[in-house]
Amino acid sequence: MPEGLPSGCMPEGVADSGFKRAASPAPGSNPDMSDGWRALAQPLPSEPEQKRAKLTRGDKRKAQGVRKANADETVLDAVELFLRSVWLEGHPEAEASSVPKTFGWPETSKQGEAEFCRAAPIPAKLAGGAEADCEFDVFVHELTERGVGIATRETLDEVRTMISKGSRPWVFTAPFTLRGERVRVRSVRHEWGYTQSDTLSISEQSPLRIDAPCQYFGKCSGCHLQHVAYGDQLEFKRQVVERALVQANPLFAKLAVSSVSPSPLPFGYRTKLTPHFDIRKDTPPDQVAIGFAMAGQRRVLDIEDCMIGTDAVRLGAKQARKDARAKMSSFKRGATLLVRETNVPKDDPQGDVSSIPAADLVKDYVLDFKGWVTDVVGELKFRYPASSFFQNNASILPAFTGYVRDELNQWSRRLAAEGGPGELRHLIDAYCGSGLFGIACHAGFDKVLGIEISNESISCANDNAKMNGIDNCDFLLGDASKLFDKVDTDPRHTAVIIDPPRKGSNPDFLDQLVAYGPRVIVYIACGVPAQARDINHMFSRGAISIDGAVATVETKPSSVYEVVSIQPFDLFPQTYHVENIVTLVRKE
């Protein structure tokens, strides 16, 4: 048991994640609890006296709610990645396949896992006045893909010793921290193999830390990386993509991930905000918080102004707050507001935009869920319902869509020059939405076919093609999993764009895609782990070759692809989110 640990709180006992691992600070220094970081910890009400006894009988507590299925997978993945990397440091000659699958308990010992998880620190909310005994000085060793610190009470050297002896450190999450920092945390909730914590103060800072410009940072859950310079945010996100690929399949470490394409606007970029509020019986209507969720809490933080919104959105948010307060007494449970940027004719905000050039439109905002929005991407216009999905960073969309268009065009020319079947002549846009990629990439193709399950989106996509004077696009209603029932084009002259939701595609669609065998596939993802999983599914079917290696399968697919480029884009600066584009080309 580490010295100084309160009785009953704790028992005895890679990849890079964006920033170089700093040497762990020497233990023993007293943390400097700054007022700014103390503000992050909300005062906790005193509990009945009998709850204090729980601090002294931690070995007898039941593991209520401690189930692996309830734990945050991004934390579990980061913990395992960290432990693996430490183990490999001590075994530099070892193969990756020889790394233990578990650390600290036998692989098949459910009892050992349960006993380990029951031995967590008591959460502060159960401390019954002894909250100070639930505060710990910890060392941050790693970051999850969501930018949350993975920390232990042990220094990095002490963790190395534990791992070498076959034991496992208890882990704390530490939000808004960086690798190499020493911080003070308060335990909030015990999970499977780790404890969720609030960060109270930082005693030893990373050299990468900067002052966040937003007054709400650290309290609002909307942004996660404002304490990191923008260039370092981009490197962190590039390595998030690398990590996701390696976690899906260690062989994917051979794939090169390009530098993240930055947003032209690190702040003031977001074209949509959805503030919300809850009605509480003990809160007067004029004091109801309107904003976004507090970090780590199920409460709303009042946000008067959001720095990542565009000028039009920030102006609209002020009006939305004013309107909501004026009719607050009419709400019973609360509501979600909508603020969305739109483009309108300069002299007639309600006028028809279809005949007006995109360059002649001006910015405005929409607050009505039933309203309509017009977005501008270069010289193209896209119109859709305010409540439907569209990318929320207009400043990067010309480069984002332009990259996909350029990938398709360059491979069409290259394949034509190499002989064989010739250039690409047909484009299929699966999960097409309102037609963004199909319309933006239509030039050079004889025919563009899009498919989407939403009738409203299909109607918008066809209207958008017509509004932009494009006559080679046809958008059809249907499920992407049945897309190839509608396709009669020669796959040797066809490219397919897939842009599924965050959960990724599904095995049936991917198997049909491989069976159809288009010459080029461009996979656009907002959920990078799901994208890596889908690529690994194709690899497991023998449909992807990695550095000449192909999975052994009973039935060989008719098409085998190479991953020719991986290009991340930062559509959401200051947050952990990253979009990623993978281009696959069929081998002949």
Cite the active site residues: 526, 579
**Cα–Cα distance, 450 to 183 (Å, whole number):** 51
For the residues of 224-268, what is the DSSP string, one character each? S-TTB-HHHHHHHHHHHHHHHHHHH-GGGGGS--PPPBPPS-SSS
8 A C-beta contact, residue 132 and residue 6: no
**Cα–Cα distance, 451 to 546 (Å, whole number):** 30
8 A C-beta contact, residue 84 and residue 149: no
* Cα–Cα nearest to 503, from 538, 461, 533: 533
**Cα–Cα distance, 45 to 31 (Å, whole number):** 24
Amino acid letter, 301: L
- Strand ranges, E, within 358-413: 361-366, 372-377, 380-385
- Which 8-state DSSP code applies to residue 449? E
How far from the centroid of its chain's Cα atoms is residue 335's Cα?
Answer: 25
**Cα–Cα distance, 124 to 133 (Å, whole number):** 8
**Cα–Cα distance, 364 to 341 (Å, whole number):** 6
315, 436, 536, 559, 569 from 513: Cα distances, Å:
45, 21, 14, 10, 25
**Cα–Cα distance, 394 to 396 (Å, whole number):** 6
8 A C-beta contact, residue 343 and residue 364: yes
8 A C-beta contact, residue 202 and residue 211: no
